[in-house]
């Protein structure tokens, strides 16, 4: 059996550190917005190379709070991607703004930066690229567009903790970048968690207020915020896991390189790593029109796969009233039918990758 992830194996590697983290919180007797949260925010900010990190309850809230902290709401348009977790767009909808989707870059599967210029209107307030599957979207052209048109440049790095663009972490680009610590992410909590990275201390102060009911002083509510705080317990667990993140990302890179080498002579589109940065390989996503048959074939051999994502966001039932129709995003629509995520997690062995690749080879031999 080869799963998509093995959390017990990951926890086993740092069992003592996790129990020590639990003990610290228990002994402190302080569970919300305390020393662990403060320390984790500083440690993750240093790890990313940004001035400020504000932790929150989950990745979806991180995105919503980023939009709120930039006063993006009703009447505003936000340019984003049709290929992401639904949370990216849901955050835009929750603040009352309008998502505007552009088709995908056929190499990175992130939004195609060449298409962004043509969808800008006088209502466009922000661009929200997603660094999907662990690879940076092409940020330089987006930064230029943002500057030229006075737009806020945001980022969804829920799958890209540590991904770089032109030698710097993606967190250092734009106005604010959102993270998730959902257990499957490259840095995962033992539950929900999220954060925002930004460089402006004033913005960070507003985010800290917004995550805590919009509270300035105690019992003084300056604006209508959320209740969205990272628990002390999760912050303590994340502090135990952060020191492994660089090594885990390197292991993901090594496994991805092995996949690339073993699968290269097959009628299968392999992921492309752009020259402008290093992917942290949150997922290893291949493409084939025979996706469903391949997934079934591998499942019969005990190899789990998943599809990220089978339905584009604009075509989700929740967005039906907005009238998006097939044919509007030809690249993304084709990808959604062909994507298949193969297992890739830091504790996976080379032998397991070989086994997956043997399964993929066997499939194409059987089909020939
Ligand atoms: C996981 C994820 C989110 C949502 O994060 P949660 O912590 O689950 O709310 C948002 N965007 C992307 C790209 C994600 O992968």
- pLDDT tens digits along 127-157: 999 999 999 999 999 999 999 999 999 999 9
Angle at 141 between CA 137 and CA 146, to 5 degrees: 100
**Band of pLDDT at residue 237, cut at 50, 70 and 90:** very high
State how beta strands 52-56 and 194-198 pair.
antiparallel
Q: How far apart are CA 327 and CA 334, in angstroms?
A: 10
Q: How far is the CA of 131 from the centre of ligand 1 (A)?
A: 11
pLDDT at position 315 is 98
- Report the percent of the chain where pLDDT is more than 90: 100
Percent with pLDDT over 70 in the chain: 100
Model pLDDT, residue 182: 98
Q: Give the pLDDT confidence score for residue 69 in this predicted structure.
A: 98
**Mutate-to-test residue for ligand 1 from 58, 59, 156, 190, highest number of ligand atoms within 8 A of CB:** 59
User: What's the pLDDT score for residue 6?
Assistant: 96
353-362 residues labelled b (16+ CB within 10 A) or e (exposed): bebbbebbee
Average confidence (pLDDT) over 295-317: 98
Please report where in the chains the tokens 């080879």 appear, as a residue: 361
Is 158 touching ligand 1 by the criterion CB < 6 Å? Answer: yes
126/119 Cα distance (integer angstroms): 12
Per residue in 256-273, pLDDT (tens digit) is 999 999 999 999 999 999
Decide: 228 in ligand 1 pocket, CB within 6 A.
no
Q: Which residue's entry shows tokens 């990808």?
A: 335
| Confidence bin at 173 (pLDDT 50/70/90) | very high
Tokens for 245, please give them: 């993140």
CA of 195 to the centre of ligand 1 (A): 11
- Range with lowest mean pLDDT among 10-14, 23-27, 75-79: 10-14
Residue 198 confidence (pLDDT) above 90: yes
Report the pLDDT averaged over residues 331-350: 98
> 77 and 124 in contact (C-beta within 8 Å)?
yes
> What's the mean pLDDT in 168-187?
98
Which pLDDT value is given to residue 256? 98
Confidence of residue 98 (pLDDT cuts 50, 70, 90): very high
Cα-based angle 129, 134, 135 (whole degrees, multiple of 5): 60
Residue 274 pLDDT exceeds 90:
yes
CA dist., res. 88 & res. 83, Å (int): 10
Our answer on whether the CB atom of 163 is closer than 6 Å to any ligand 1 atom is no
Strands (DSSP E) found in the chain = 52-56, 77-80, 98-101, 124-127, 152-156, 164-165, 168-169, 176-180, 194-198, 284-287, 339-342
CB of 87 sitting under 6 A from ligand 1: yes
Per the listing, tokens 């990216």 go with 88
Q: How confident is the model at residue 286 (pLDDT cuts 50, 70, 90)?
A: very high
**Cα distance from N-terminal residue to C-terminal residue, the chain:** 26
What spacing in Å lies between the alpha carbon of 194 and ligand 1's midpoint? Answer: 9
Gap from CA of 82 to ligand 1 centroid (Å) = 14
Q: How confident is the model at residue 321 (pLDDT cuts 50, 70, 90)?
A: very high
pLDDT of residue 368: 84
Q: Please name the residues in contact with 25: beta carbons below 8 A apart, sequence gap of 6 or more.
A: 31, 36, 232, 233, 236
Residue owning tokens 């987006």 = 142
């Amino acid at each position: 059996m080869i799963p998509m992830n093995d959390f017990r194996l990951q926890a086993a590697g740092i069992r003592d550190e996790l129990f020590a983290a639990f003990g610290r919180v228990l002994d402190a007797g302080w569970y919300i917005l305390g020393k662990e949260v403060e320390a984790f925010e500083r440690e993750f900010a240093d790890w990313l190379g940004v001035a400020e990190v504000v932790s929150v309850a989950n990745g979806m809230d991180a995105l919503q709070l980023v939009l709120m902290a930039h006063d993006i709401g009703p009447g505003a348009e936000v340019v984003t991607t049709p290929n992401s977790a639904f949370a990216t767009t849901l955050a835009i909808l929750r603040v009352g703004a309008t998502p505007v989707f552009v088709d995908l870059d056929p190499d990175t599967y992130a939004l195609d930066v060449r298409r962004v210029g043509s969808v800008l209107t006088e209502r466009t307030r922000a661009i929200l690229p997603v660094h999907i599957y662990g690879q940076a979207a092409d940020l330089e052209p987006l930064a230029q567009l943002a500057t030229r048109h006075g737009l806020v440049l945001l980022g969804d790095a829920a799958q890209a903790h540590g991904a770089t663009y032109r030698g710097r972490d993606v967190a250092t680009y734009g106005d604010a970048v959102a993270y998730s610590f959902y257990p499957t992410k490259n840095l995962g909590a033992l539950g929900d968690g999220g954060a925002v990275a930004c460089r402006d201390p004033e913005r960070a102060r507003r985010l800290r207020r917004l995550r805590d009911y919009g509270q300035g002083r105690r019992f003084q509510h300056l604006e209508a915020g959320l209740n969205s705080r990272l628990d002390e317990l999760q912050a303590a667990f994340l502090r135990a896991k952060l020191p492994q993140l660089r090594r885990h990302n390197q292991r993901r890179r090594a496994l991805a390189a092995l996949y690339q080498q073993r699968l290269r002579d097959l009628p299968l589109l392999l992921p492309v790593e752009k020259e402008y940065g290093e992917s942290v390989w949150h997922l290893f996503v291949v493409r084939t029109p025979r996706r469903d048959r391949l997934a079934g074939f591998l499942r019969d051999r005990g190899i789990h796969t998943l599809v990220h994502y089978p339905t584009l966001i604009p075509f989700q039932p929740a967005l039906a009233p907005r009238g998006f129709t097939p044919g509007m995003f030809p690249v993304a629509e084709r990808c959604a039918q062909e994507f298949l995520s193969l297992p890739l997690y830091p504790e996976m062995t080379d032998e397991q990758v070989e086994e997956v690749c043997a399964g993929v080879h066997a499939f194409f031999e059987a089909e020939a």
